Amino acid sequence: MALSFGLNNAGFTANAIETEAQLTMDPVDGKPTIKAIHLVTRAQVPGISAQQFSEIASGAKVNCVVSRALSPSITVTMNATLAS
């Protein structure tokens, strides 16, 4: 949602955005605990350059309300690609 919001604020409308979340879990006190989340995002956005997309995606990751809520106890990383 943060990526869509950032794109819209920059004047772009995505045709599609797909995101997968890959979790890393380790036991803490014998209980499974999420330690990291890696987001893999693919988007189709007409008229945007790869650099513009990268900047907006990076900003979305940093400013996402969920990422901020999880930080710093859970590391959130992202690989965002612009599909043609």
The predicted pLDDT at position 43 comes to 97
Q: Residues with Cβ < 8 Å from 82, sequence gap 6 or more?
A: 43, 44, 45, 48, 50, 53, 54
Classify strands 16-28 and 31-44 as parallel, antiparallel or unpaired.
antiparallel
pLDDT at 74: 85
* The overall pTM is greater than 0.75: yes
What pLDDT score does 70 carry?
Answer: 82
Pick from 42, 23, 32, 36: nearest CA to 76: 36
Adjacent-strand bridge partners of 41: 19, 80
Mean pLDDT, consecutive 10-residue stretches, the chain (84 aa), reads: 95 96 93 92 96 95 86 86 88
